[in-house]
Amino acid sequence: MLRKLCSPMIVLMLLSATAFAQKAGSNWSDVESLKNGTKVVVNTKNGREFVGTKRQATDDTVFIETKFAVQGNRTISLGRDEVASVSKIKSRWMPPLVGLGIGLAAGIAIGSGADHPYSDDPGLGKVVGGALGGAIGLLSGSLLSRKPGTKTIYVAP
């Protein structure tokens, strides 16, 4: 009986995991549709990696502003046939802000349970809990965002 119930559940879990998996496309229009000013990582087919800011993309070229040790900031152009992959750098600020929101909400919820309605300061538990929870959430989010992740936008076919 238990085996009959578990088998469909396992199949559904595996199907949902593959359905929600993100796969990088080989569609150059995804690179063109990135907003100018987006932080990107471009890997070339000969093994070089360029980290910079997207300036413009045409049907066959992407222009990025990158920093070189000797030359400083330069805008370079890479042809579509040179590019192996393009990735977008995720924001460093999102995890700390999400952590702050979650910590603040959890702190207020826990603090409201500690509040005493007939005391001199009936909302003190919410204030203290919210402040502590927000600080812990912000710290946790900051630790998670030390190295921002990337999302692959384009992979050459």
C-alpha dist (Å) from residue 38 to 31, 55, 91, 135: 11, 8, 10, 30
Alpha-carbon distance of 135 to 143, in angstroms, equals 12
User: In this predicted structure, what is the pLDDT of residue 21?
Assistant: 44
Report the alpha-carbon distance of residue 156 to residue 143 in Å, rounded: 33
What number of residues does the chain have?
157
Beta carbons within 10 angstroms of residue 69's beta carbon? 5
pTM of the model: 0.58
Query: Residue 66 forms beta bridges with which residues?
Result: 52, 74
Q: What is the pLDDT of residues 51-101, one digit of tens each?
A: 999 999 999 999 999 988 888 899 999 999 999 999 998 877 888 889 999
- Cα–Cα distance for residue pair 82/39, rounded to 1 Å: 19
- Sorting pLDDT into bands at 50, 70 and 90, what band is 24? low
Name the CATH topology of 22-89: SH3 type barrels. (2.30.30)
pLDDT in tens, 4-15: 444 544 544 444
Instruction: For 115-138, write each residue's pLDDT tens digit.
Output: 877 777 778 888 899 999 999 998
- Residue 144: pLDDT band by 50, 70, 90 thresholds? confident
- Token pair listed for 94: 């999102």
**Is the Cα dihedral 135, 141, 143, 145 positive or negative?**
negative
For residue 83, how many other CB atoms are within 10 A of its CB? 20
Give the tens place of pLDDT for each residue, 27-44.
899 999 999 999 999 999
What is the reported pLDDT for 5? 43
For residue 102, give both structure tokens: 């979650």
| Confidence at residue 150, expressed as pLDDT on a 0 to 100 scale | 84
Q: Hey, where are the domains in the chain?
A: 22-89, 94-144
pLDDT of residue 112: 86
Residue 21 · residue 29 · CB < 8 Å:
no
- For residue 81, what are the contacts with CB-CB under 8 A and spacing of at least 6? 45, 60
